[in-house]
Amino acid sequence: MSLSEAVLPVSIEPHDDESGLGYCLRVISGNGASLHALRRLVEIDNIGRFTTKHAQSLGRVFQRSSEWLEMALPTAEKTKPYQRDYFGHRWFSRNHLRTQNPQVCIRCIHAKGYCRAIWDVSIGTVCLEHRCQLVDFCAQCRKPLRWDRPRIDVGHCGHLLKTMPETRVTLRLFNLQSFLEQKFHACFAAEASPDTCHLTLLNRLSLSGIHSVIVGFGLRRRPLEVLHATARTKTYQCKEWAEIVERGLDRLNQFETSTSMHDGLSEVIVESLLEQMVLNHESVHDQKAALTLIEQIFKRKISAEFGSQFAHLSQLELF
């Protein structure tokens, strides 16, 4: 039998809320093989990443319909501008999704045996069920988690993933996680109605818009901090994401509750992330929110700054 005809002997059903990358790992390890072997079966190179373009081949190998895989795997990365789709949502920065360095709830993977798709969203750092922070490294050797590992519950280092002293989760992070999960699943669960966030600005935004605003507000640790060119797109650890989100939510709360604080916020908010959101966005609500924030905090109209290359932006209404 040729590789193009090979199938795995054990067919495993995916969970509705399962990460597509996690599903690939769960199925191949359940058949006694590795992700490297799976790459050979679908004829991609040794370091290739599984994306929607492999859904048909993976469906054949797994003896499953490719329809779910087309939703549960990220699309191939596009550049100029960067763009990626995942579970019905569109993302515009390479660090919005954790497609290389996953984060997990150790207690969940031991109890349920699979990785949830919402864990692939970088700013979602909390397990609602166990009220704990997700982790992205092995407790024994401290090496970062990778998708290329022997099993869901074993690190690339070979150590069984063990629980560690749990980081206290603030009520603010817990509530945001609940809001994100409702937003994330609303795209394919017609009966679900997303919870509302107490920060009204976030309610009408897409997930990528929520990510951009929170990170734009929280990335700087102190006023006028000079950021490295890679700070906006680099891979952060789960703990670092939680700190960014906490700062972002705190400053968003200041913005919504006190107009007198707007001038001070201009020294801590990363304006370029809001500018990027104006140009690359999933919904018109995202774009209008970014325009409004720039005008109210930085006291300028976006079109004047970008010049004639983006003159079409000058026709947009701010409110």
Which residue in the block uniquely carries the two structure tokens 């370029």?
272
pLDDT of residue 287: 96
pLDDT of residue 165: 82
pLDDT of residue 199: 83
pTM: 0.90
Nearest CA-CA partner of 71 in 17, 8, 10, 13: 17
Q: Give yes or no for a cis peptide into 81 (omega within 30° of 0).
A: yes
Residue 97: beta bridge partners? 121
CB 71 within 8 A of CB 87: yes
Residue 16's contacts (CB-CB under 8 Å, 6 or more residues apart) are none
Q: What is the pLDDT along the chain (319 residues), one digit of tens a residue?
A: 445 578 999 999 999 999 999 999 999 999 999 999 999 999 898 778 899 999 999 999 999 999 999 999 999 988 888 999 999 999 999 999 999 999 999 999 999 999 999 999 999 999 999 999 999 999 999 999 999 999 999 999 999 999 888 778 999 999 999 999 999 998 655 454 556 777 889 999 999 999 999 999 999 999 999 999 899 999 999 999 999 999 999 999 999 988 766 778 999 999 999 999 999 999 999 999 999 999 999 988 876 445 444 544 544 444 3
The rounded Cα 29 to chain-centroid distance in angstroms is 25
pLDDT of residue 314: 46
How far is it, in rounded angstroms, from Cα 58 to Cα 70?
10
DSSP sequence for 31-64: TT--HHHHHHHTT--TTPPP-GGGHHHHHHHHTS
**Does residue 20 sit in helix, strand or coil?**
helix
Nearest CA-CA partner of 142 in 131, 128, 157: 157
Residue 269's contacts (CB-CB under 8 Å, 6 or more residues apart) are 216, 217, 220, 251, 293, 297
